[in-house]
Structure 1
Amino acid sequence: MGSEYSNRKDLIEKENQREYSGREGKGKRLWKKVKYQLVEYHALPGYLRDNEYILGHYRSEWPMKQVLLSIFRIHNETLNVWTHLIGFFLFLALTIYTAMQVPKVVDLHSLQHLSGMLKSADLHKLQSELLTCLPSLPDFHRLKEELRTTFPSISSWHVKELLYNCLPERFFNCNHTDVCVLHTVKEDLVNIIAPLMIRPITRWPFFVFLGGAMFCLLASSACHLLYCHSERLSYIMLRLDYAGIAALISTSFYPPVYYSFMCHPFFCNLYLGFITLLGIATIIVSLLPVFQNPEYRTMRASLFFGMGFSGAAPILHKLFLFWGEPEVFHTTGYEILMGAFYGIGALVYATRIPERWMPGKFDIAGHSHQLFHVLVVAGAYTHYQAGLVYLKWRDLRGC
């Protein structure tokens, strides 16, 4: 009797234990599910409260694993992460393309055009004329050696002029078909031969800009993904984000300043030194804890806007020095467009438009920070296009 009672008691205890374990497991799973749910603005700790017009879909103090996996979840930072992450890969591809293709300064379109025109020309006659013409240039062998070993003492623009004048005057006559064809080809031919006689202009300022753009975009993407983990990590990532913005603005000055004033070392060093010091000062200010507070949003935007606006001085100076050259107007147009992208982005960021008009309606997509990110990528890409024009201009013109 006692043994039977004891066995029944043990069975009941085991059943109760299994039931308790089951409830405990369900409770843990439920707690885990609730714990990693998105929360509303009023439930955030103070350091995560930045934009009161974004009302919901926040991540708050998640473990690092969950934070990293949230790159594939929908929340109010998803597009902030991906807009600049895609931008980073875009500029990485542009950097690789620039390193592999841009040093080839020959205009491929002109080369294809020349090839088509020469099909009906007397190629043997053209070859004979070139072989006669090139060695007749003043000090041709010395010039080739200088161009191979040192910075050119004679500009590529001068080389083009010598080549153009060297080609036979009979190319201007149109008495014969082949001569007419050669006449139309003459300028293309000079544009192709001249760059082959000189070294391409140094590319390091262009790569400085590309590096600054990639650092800014990657830092921004990482910040928006990771800052919700903890207060300490938020502090670090936000400062990295501000440093990236300052780096992008500062390095954006390098291609236009260097290639505009490479033949005027004083102004080149003056402008580059000024923007470099201004960028360092901005990064130092960004490290101050008070700079992170939401009430300093307008100040942050104004500081970065001021850095960009300081680029007006070298642009105006460039226009004064090279007025009338088409490449100068071409690059200035790109720079104005870039400034418009950055300026509108800073304005949208500071005013928090459009979410301030309809709080809660743009939590997932369309709020000001996302628009700011898109405009930054557009501005940086516009500046890349301007850099290509600078490179081709200086490669062909020299000083």
Structure 2
Amino acid sequence: MKNNISKKKKNKEHKKKKESSNMKEEKVYKLLRYEELPEYMKENEFILAHYRAEWPLKHAARSLFSWHNETLNVWTHLLGFLLFLGLTLVHLRDIPQVSHLLDPFSWYIPSNTIENSSYNPGKLFNAETKASLASSSSSSSSSSSSSSGSQSTRWPFFIFLSGSMFCLLSSSACHLFSCHSHGLNLLLIRVDYAGIAVMIVASFFPPIYYIFQCDTHWQLLYLSSITALGLLAVVNLLSPHLSTPKFRSYRALLFSAMAFSGIIPAVHAVVVNWSEPRRNITLAYELAMALFYVTGTVFYVTRVPERWNPGAFDLAGHSHQIFHLFVIAGALAHYAAALVFLEWRDSIGCDHQGKSSSIITATMIS
């Protein structure tokens, strides 16, 4: 009898534990409203519902395929990462040392795609740019064919692609897993901000390296300056205090200052290459990039449109999603410009450009 009673007690206790654990699971995994969030997650008071909070990592990972207010934030930059990963694989085929490693995967990359994207951004974007590139390169190719026997180095171009992928992937990871705990939330947010700084710095490498390839002192000065500024920004952004919502505007100002620090080398580059026909093409792409980034930052800071109608844009259409789309658009515009810089340097070499640019830079210094 005693054994039976003790067994019944154990069964009852076991059932209670199961019920309590089920209640806990129900409580942890349901989507919350803004007022139910822990304080550290209360960042945007205009998004009222569909939040995840204190979710285990495996459930946070599974939420990649469920609907909540971070779903589109995750997927916009995850798809952007996959896009830039594909572009990187395409361009890696230009490098003999690694192209043979990609041969098993060449079935999904048509050969004409590789040629077009590697050397002719006009085909990748539009026919008008193609015609412009063809006409502008004809005048310089005859005079510089003897000096352009080898391709320019590709590492600055891959630094840009790598920086873009790091930024996009860290952003996706942050939006997916920051609901796990306070500690992981802080860490991922700081990595996300550092990723933006890395992307900005990496974006400077192709234009500065290829424009000033024949003037190494200017090349070194500009690249070392932006790298130092980027490191300073990363150190700043890794501070837990500066990662809080209170410093949202400060972070936007810091990123904008980094981006606008490129005005000096940009003006210098325009002066050095004043007679280069392809200058207008690259300027158009770079201005488009700047416009995309600035517009995205305005949405990020002002929290439009959700501040106009709180709750209406909880799942789709809020400012951070729009900001993500503008970041991808800006990165693609800069990618197009980088292709033009690369093709131009391959075609013109250093002899002709080096003489003209050294004369102009000497004049500027004097």
Is TM > 0.5 for Structure 1 vs Structure 2? yes
Q: Following superposition of structure 1 onto structure 2, how do residues 274-289 of structure 1 map, counting pairs within 5 Å? A: 274-289=225-240
2:31 corresponds to 1:38 = yes
> Which residue is 1:93 aligned to?
86
Instruction: Give the letter aligned to residue 29 of structure 2.
Output: Y
Q: What's 1:260 paired with?
A: 211
* Structure-2 separation of matches of 1:108 and 1:356: 39
For residues 69-80 of structure 1, what are the structure 2 equivalents within 5 Å? 69-80=62-73
Letter of the structure 1 residue corresponding to residue 282 of structure 2? T
In structure 1, the partner of 2:41 is 48
Residue 84 (structure 1) aligns with = 77
Q: Which runs of 5 or more structure 2 residues have no equivalent in the other structure?
A: 97-114, 124-137, 351-366
Question: Using a 3 Å threshold, how does the CA distance of structure 1 residues 363 and 109 change in structure 2: closer, same or farther?
Answer: closer
SS of match in other structure, 1:253: helix
Describe how 1:159-174 pairs up with structure 2 within 5 A.
160-161=142-143
Q: CA RMSD in A?
A: 2.8
Q: Distance in 2 between matches of 1:26 and 1:250?
A: 53
Offset of residue 157 of structure 1: 8.6
1: distance between equivalents of 2:147 and 2:221?
32
Aligned-residue offset at 1:264:
1.3
C-alpha distance 217-16 of structure 1, shift in aligned 2 (>3 A): same
Q: How does 1:215-294 map to 2 (within 5 A)?
A: 215-294=166-245
Q: 1:55 to 1:250 in 2, by over 3 A?
A: same
Give, in whole Å, the separation in 2 of the partners of 1:78 and 1:159: 49
Q: 1:345 to 1:106 in 2, by over 3 A?
A: closer
Shift of 1:56: 1.0
Distance in 1 between the 2:316 and 2:36 partners?
A: 21
Equivalents in 1 of 2:75, 2:179: separation in Å? Answer: 16
Whether contact under 8 Å (2:51, 2:69) holds in the other structure is yes
> Does structure 1 retain, via aligned residues, the 8 Å contact 2:121–2:336?
no
**Pairwise mapping of residues 160-199 of structure 1 onto structure 2 (< 5 A)?**
160-161=142-143, 194=145, 198-199=149-150
SS of alignment partner, residue 255 of structure 1: helix
Tell me if structure 2 keeps the 8 A contact 1:62–1:229.
yes
TM-score (norm. length: structure 1): 0.73
CA 1:74–1:338 in 2, change beyond 3 Å: closer, same or farther? same
Q: For the residues of structure 2 that align with 1:289 and 1:197, how far apart are their CA atoms?
A: 50
SS in 2 for 1:326: coil
Structure 1 residue 69 displacement after superposition: 1.3
Aligned to 2:342: 391
Give the match for residue 312 of structure 1: 263
Structure 1 residue 305: Cα displacement: 0.9
2:285 corresponds to: 334
Gapped regions of structure 1 (runs ≥ 5) = 1-5, 111-155, 163-193
Q: TM-score, normalised by structure 2?
A: 0.79
1:369 aligned to 316, 320, 333, which one? 320
Q: Distance in 2 between matches of 1:69 and 1:285?
A: 33
Quick check: 314-323 or 85-94, which moved more? 314-323
Q: Which residue does 1:146 correspond to in 2?
A: none
- Distance in 2, matches of 1:347 and 1:197, equals 43
Partner of 1:68 in structure 2? 61
Larger Rg: 1
Give the CA deviation at 1:71.
1.2
> C-alpha distance in 2, partners of 1:107/1:32?
55
The alpha carbon displacement at 1:28 in A equals 3.8
Q: Conserved in 1, the CA contact under 8 Å of 2:46 and 2:307? A: yes
The equivalent of 1:214 in structure 2 is: 165
The answer to whether the Cα contact below 8 Å between 2:201 and 2:230 also exists between their aligned partners in 1 is yes
User: Is this contact kept in 1: 2:166–2:195, CA < 8 A?
Assistant: yes
Letter in 1 for 2:199: L
Of 145, 154, 168, 1:203 maps to 154
Indicate conservation of the 8 Å contact 2:293/2:326, yes or no. Answer: yes
Give 1:34 shift.
3.1
Q: CA separation of 1:23/1:107 partners in 2, compared to 1, >3 Å: closer, same or farther?
A: closer
Query: Number of residue pairs matched?
Result: 316
User: Which residue in 2 is equivalent to 1:348?
Assistant: 299
Q: Distance in 2 between matches of 1:32 and 1:342?
A: 41
- C-alpha displacement of 1:21: 5.8
Compute the displacement of 1:228 (Å): 1.3
Per the alignment, do residues 363 and 322 of structure 1 end up closer, same or farther by CA in structure 2, a change over 3 Å counting?
Answer: same
Q: CA deviation at 1:311?
A: 1.3
Equivalent-residue separation in structure 1 for 2:55 and 2:75 (angstroms): 19
Aligned residue number for residue 169 of structure 1: none
- Kept in 2, the 8 Å contact 1:41–1:56? The answer is yes
2:311 paired residue number: 360
After superposition, the Cα gap between the structure-2 partners of 1:238 and 1:197, relative to the gap in structure 1 and judged at 3 Å, is closer
Between the aligned partners of 2:120 and 2:37, the Cα distance in structure 1 is 57
Change (3 A) 1:196 1:54: same
1:93-143 CA distances to partner (integer Å, 9 max, x unpaired)? Answer: 001111215997776999xxxxxxxxxxxxxxxxxxxxxxxxxxxxxxxxx
User: Cα–Cα, structure 1 residues 99 and 195, in superposed 2: closer, same or farther, change >3 Å?
Assistant: farther
Q: Distance in 2 between matches of 1:341 and 1:245?
A: 15
**Cα-to-partner distance string for 1:206-255 (whole Å, 9 max, x where unaligned):** 01101100110111111111111111111111110011000000010011
Question: Is it true that 1:301 corresponds to 2:252 in the alignment?
Answer: yes
Task: Decide whether aligned partners of structure 1 residues 385 and 299 sit closer, same or farther in structure 2, where only a CA change above 3 A counts.
Answer: same
